[in-house]
């Protein structure tokens, strides 16, 4: 995975796994002034299903658990007629 241009940041293994498992979310790991992590996820598309738009958790596995129970976003058929 590429680092963020201009910041030279690389995602942790936890973030890489979360991003692979939940591609409908933008997932980041942030740290507070004491170095404690916070994992955040925001939807990449508006959620018409009532799913949360922003999810925050103190650990990667806690974020995984919260994302796993979110309703999935219905996807429109692509031009070939298959659902993406």
Q: Tell me which of 56 and 79 has the higher pLDDT.
A: 56
Rounded Cα distance between 33 and 71, Å, is: 33
What value does the mean pLDDT take over residues 1-14? 72
Rounded Cα distance between 67 and 35, Å, is: 24
Rounded Cα distance between 21 and 64, Å, is: 9
Say what the pTM is: 0.72
DSSP symbol at 8: T
pLDDT in tens, 15-59: 999 999 999 899 999 988 998 999 999 988 776 666 668 999 999
Q: pLDDT at position 46, please?
A: 73
């Amino acid at each position: 995975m590429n680092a963020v241009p201009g910041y030279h940041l690389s995602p942790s293994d936890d973030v890489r796994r979360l991003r692979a498992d939940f591609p409908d979310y933008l997932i980041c790991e942030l740290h507070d002034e004491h170095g404690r992590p916070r994992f955040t996820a925001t939807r990449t598309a508006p959620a018409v299903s009532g799913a949360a738009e922003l999810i925050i958790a103190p650990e990667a596995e806690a974020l995984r658990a919260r994302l796993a129970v979110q309703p999935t976003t219905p996807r429109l058929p692509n031009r070939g007629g298959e659902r993406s």
